[in-house]
Amino acid sequence: MKPAIASEVVYPELEVYHDPVTPIVLLPTTAVENVTPAIEVINLTVRYGQAPGCEAINFSALPGERIAVIGPNGAGKSTMFKAVVGLLPMSSGTISVGGESCATSHDLVSYVPQHESVDWKFPANVWDVVMMARTRHIGYLRTPRKADRQAVRDALEKVEMWPLRNRQIGQLSGGQRRRVFIARALAQKAAVLLMDEPFAGVDASAEAEIMSVLDTLRALKVAIIVSTHNLGQAAHHYDKVLMINRQQIAFGPTSEVFNAKNLSQTFGGFLTVWQGQSPYTVIADDSCHEC
Amino acid sequence: MELINVLAALSLWELIQRGWDVLLRDFHWFIAKPLDIALLQRSLEAAILVGVLSGVVGSLVVVRGMSFFADALSHSILPGVAIMYQRSRAGDVPDIPGVGNANPLLWGALGAGLVSTFLIGFLTRHERLRSDTAIGIVFAGMFALGIAMVSRVESYAGDLTHILFGQILGVGPQDLNIIIGFSVVVVLIVIIFYKEFMLISFDPLLATTLRLPTEFFRYLLLLLIATTIVVSLQIVGISLMLALLITPAATASLITHRLHWMMILAALIGSACSIIGFYASYHLDVATGPAIVLAATGIFGFVFLEQALQNQARRGLYRLRQAREMSSTKG
């Protein structure tokens, strides 16, 4: 591997600057009325120990929909995710998955934890990690059957990690590591995928890599809920945006919700929004992403 | 490059053949003679079993980063041993049905091990304390209790050294049966729940969302570690127990990157260390426990150095190739 030498980057003029990413093709909103949401969270409140809680969260995701959760550090994004997958007890509220109460259908929700919380030196290869999602399907006192192996293979092929199945997980790149965890959700046959900060600490190419995998999941009708710090990405790549800062600020289609008023309300002191006479809105984010 | 490899292989082969010749010529003196004594044969069998057992369980200890817990647990069984020792001196040994009063110290150790396991498990459950703090408190408290008990008995010094540093020659026929029984049970449990143990070690969050009884498996694992420590107590003693658990497993983790291979390799390395340590102890007249641990440390050092050299060589080759490419593109 040769070290890549960065070519000279010529930045475009500010006035003609557009986000180079291609925005998401929105799901058709017609004929949506009679579809059961993949996940519906009503009035979720979590107060637990020292972790930042969250109050009165309401949102729902249709199959295949992609939702961005944005908010400053300590706004309760991770807490909300953990409550939704059942890692933390809810103080109040209801969660239904596929129209049913979550008590019965919890393995339909898959959770990808923050990157730092995984031990990447663990002696397991890609195949092992994805097979872990099948533990419940396999059952006690049994070894993986043909259906389990096939599910793992399908999942790995969908995220294009099949050729790397024998690689130890620590030897993968940042984008590949996230793809393995997405494959795990696929092997679990989850209908809803929650990802906590999947884009923290990855470079632009890995981000594009992950995004293309998320597009694959969209085709498979998996609802994806992603917490992110990348506001530019949130504005272009998601059907809906959920803004929280301890409590819900806004939830709705990106085009309606993603505006200066909601953003400054969400981020408070962490984010400054200028909207002068020019058609541009300038957003300055001074929160340190990694702290 | 290839020539050097061939030469190295040839000289290694030569060395192995010479060693083999010597071994064959002096086979009786070197290998067979120690085994003529039933006591020594029994100790070797026990040492091999313990090597396998601690390799398997030690792999889980290493991948979960629980070496401090294991060390603490091996020290905190001292009060149990002390109580049973006092009672056996007084001739007041509780009779356990089926096993008899063969080895009261072992049962005392098991009891104390279970008590401190559940104490630590309970203290660390709600993360009110950092787990290493909780472990440290229980460890120091129990160890102090043990020493306080010991200090009240005179002429305890000799037995205390046995408990601290192991006394492999004390392995009686019944002890061997106990070791066999526990080893088989523990290894079977690890095999049966292998995928569950792997899951809760790698990603306890996923295990919880899949609704697996994570708390049950956590306590089961602590229990297995406690049992392993108690069983291995006679071979290497309290203070060297940790080495037997983590060194072979750490060596295996350098060689392989899959958990089941790591367990198998660690068991092999552990039993090999036991054999090497046993003969070294017989021929060089050193205590068996330290000899086994030193063998394990030696193997670890060898593998570590070998891998470091390999990495260096690979890096050197890479640089060489790059330099050649650079010069060829220039020319």
Which pLDDT value is given to residue A269?
Answer: 59
B191 in contact with A, Cβ within 8 Å: no
B28 interfaces chain A, CB cutoff of 8 Å: no
Q: Are A176 and A161 in contact (CB under 8 A)?
A: yes
Residue A265: what pLDDT?
A: 80
> CB of B208 within 8 Å of any CB in chain A?
yes
| Of the listed ranges A7-16, A106-115, A270-279, B120-129, the one predicted with least confidence | A7-16
Report pLDDT for B269: 95
- Mean pLDDT for A87-106 is 76
B319 at interface of A, judged by CB pairs closer than 8 A: no
Closest partner residue to A87 among B198, B201, B205, by Cβ? Answer: B205
Query: Helices (H), strands (E): how many in chain A?
Result: 9, 12
User: What proportion of chain B, given as a percentage, has pLDDT over 70?
Assistant: 92
- pLDDT score recorded for residue A39: 87
Inter-helix orientation angle B78-89/B157-165, to 10°:
140
Q: Which of B63, B192, B206 sits opposite A122 (nearest CB)?
A: B63
Give the bridge partners for A48, in sequence order: A51
The pLDDT-based confidence of B253 (bands split at 50, 70, 90) is very high
B202 in reach of chain A (CB within 8 A): yes
Residue B275: pLDDT over 90 = yes
State residue A23's pLDDT score. 59
Which H or E element spans position A223? strand A223-227
DSSP string, A100-167: EETTT-GGGEEEE--GGGS-TTSS-BHHHHHHHTTHHHH-TT----HHHHHHHHHHHHHTT-GGGTTS
Nearest CB partner across the interface for A132, out of B65, B199, B257: B199
The whole-number pLDDT of residue B109 equals 85
Determine how β-strand A51-61 pairs with β-strand A223-227: unpaired
Rg from Cα positions in chain B: 23
Query: Which pLDDT does position A14 carry in this prediction?
Result: 47
Percent of chain A with pLDDT over 70: 78
**Least confident window among A277-281, B31-35, B179-183, B323-327:** A277-281
Residue A31: pLDDT band with limits 50, 70, 90: very low
pLDDT > 90: percent of chain A: 19
Distance, in Å, from the CA atom of B228 to the CA atom of B70, rounded to the nearest integer, reads 10
Q: Is the pLDDT of residue B126 over 50?
A: yes
Summary mean pLDDT of chain B: 85
Asked if A36 and A99 count as a contact pair (C-beta separation under 8 A), the reply is: yes
Cα A222 from Cα A220, distance rounded (Å): 6
Instruction: Report the pLDDT value the prediction gives residue A187, as an integer from 0 to 100.
Output: 92
Strand (E) positions, chain B? none
Query: pLDDT higher for A42 or B1?
Result: A42
List chain A residues with CB under 8 Å of B208. Answer: 86-87
* pTM to 2 decimal places: 0.83
Mutate to test the interface with A, among B61, B192, B210 (most CBs of A within 10 A): B210
In chain B, whose CA is at the least distance from the CA of A2? B322
Task: Tell me whether residues A123 and B257 touch, CB distance under 8 A.
Answer: yes
Pairwise pLDDT comparison (B250 vs B104), residue with the higher score: B250
What is the tens place of the pLDDT at every residue in A197-231? 888 888 888 888 888 888 888 888 889 999 988 88
Q: Supply the pLDDT for residue A17.
A: 45
User: pLDDT grade, residue A40 (50/70/90)?
Assistant: confident
